[in-house]
Amino acid sequence: MKLRPTDRAYGDLEALIKRPRDYANVSAAVKAIGGVGPPPGGKPIAVVNDQYDVYTYEPPGTGSTVIVLIWDPDDPGTAVFAGLWPDPDGSRRATKRVAAEAASAAGVVDPRVFVSG
Amino acid sequence: MVAKPTGLETFEEADRRLRASHPKAEAFLNRTAQKRKISEFLLRARYRAGLRQVEVAKNAGMSKSQVSRLEDVSGPVPDILTVLRYMTACKATIGLVAIKSIDPDHSQIVDAIPLNVSELAHVNLLDAPKLEEAAGG
């Protein structure tokens, strides 16, 4: 599986590396995700344009920040690392906003978000 | 000054590029290499199970902050029973693995068995002096 950073992710990572502990935690989380892929049988927090599954992952040590990944349905082995966002923590409105922002950052044009659950 | 990416790159490539530009971060990452391996191991189990920290904490009878500290790349390496509690909370377990050394840089897994809490207590893996004695130390 590959993780392809977006411009947003580059920005997040470049800001984060100035705080080595936070960077190391996010790096460990991203590498762990790379070894696992989307959770088997897992439910995405949202689906964008009836096509892209959006998942959030909690890295350790970084408070209420989550890593947002957009899984590419045409290439199941590849996720777009959309970047870091505040944890929507179950709020439908926040989930919709995070998924839309992440999808835009990942290059999805005119994202229409369906929040799962 | 961070070198700019040229075209698409994987996270690993971005990581190498960023680390090369930030010696302090590189030093921190090197210093925490051992705990980061444990951290990635634990995180893989949690992400595979599709669980949030609060769910692992509830299943393991820990606080969310304990789970976060266990997963953190800094801090002490957790003891084996704590790792087993965490893994059990992620609907997984840990095991014993026999590794054959081929040369200083290469090894091969030759045998593996899963463990549960009672087996772990039985084999008394936490008895450090006996472990050292068994290892010829």
Alpha helices in chain A (DSSP H): 7-16, 20-34, 92-105
* Residues above pLDDT 70, as percent of chain A: 97
Phi/psi region, residue A88 (left: phi>0; alpha: psi -120 to 50; beta: rest), is alpha
Q: Average per-residue pLDDT in chain B? A: 83
CA separation (Å) from B103 to A54, B37, B100?
A: 43, 21, 9
Report whether A113 contacts A48 (CB < 8 A): yes
- For B3-13, write each residue's pLDDT tens digit: 444 456 888 89
Residue B89 banded pLDDT, cuts 50, 70, 90 = very high
Asked if B5's CB is within 8 angstroms of A10's CB, the reply is yes
Asked if B28's CB is within 8 angstroms of A21's CB, the reply is yes
- For A85-114, write each residue's pLDDT tens digit: 999 988 999 999 999 999 998 888 899 999
E-only strand ranges, A58-103: 65-71, 78-86
- Interface size A-B, in CB pairs within 8 Å, comes to 108
Neighbours of A55 (CB within 10 A): 25
* Residues above pLDDT 70, as percent of chain B: 79
Residue B44 distance to chain A (closest CA, Å)? 5
Residue B55 banded pLDDT, cuts 50, 70, 90 = very high
Residue A1 banded pLDDT, cuts 50, 70, 90 = low
Taking contacts as CB-CB distances below 8 angstroms, the residues of chain A near B69 are: 60
Whole-complex ipTM: 0.91
pLDDT at B123 over 60: no
Asked if A25's CB is within 8 angstroms of B18's CB, the reply is no
pLDDT at A27 over 60: yes
pLDDT at B21 over 60: yes
Residue B46 banded pLDDT, cuts 50, 70, 90 = very high
Residue B1 banded pLDDT, cuts 50, 70, 90 = very low
- A76 touching chain B per CB within 8 A: no
Q: Which residue has the higher pLDDT, B5 or B52?
A: B52
pLDDT value at residue B4: 44
Give the chain A residue whose CA is nearest to the CA of B74. A21
Q: Is this structure's pTM higher than 0.90?
A: no
pLDDT value at residue B118: 61
- B19 touching chain A per CB within 8 A: yes
Closest in B12, B52, B74 to A21, CB measured: B74
pLDDT value at residue B2: 41
pLDDT at B130 over 80: no
- Residue A81 has φ and ψ, to the nearest 5°, of -80, 95
Report whether A4 contacts A79 (CB < 8 A): yes
pLDDT at A47 over 60: yes
pLDDT value at residue A40: 72
- For A57-93, write each residue's pLDDT tens digit: 999 988 889 999 998 777 777 788 889 999 998 899 9
Residues 6+ apart with CB under 8 A from A74: none
Q: Which residue has the higher pLDDT, B1 or A70?
A: A70
What tokens does B17 get?
């590029």
- Chain-centroid distance, C-alpha A53: 10
Closest in B10, B12, B73 to A25, CB measured: B73
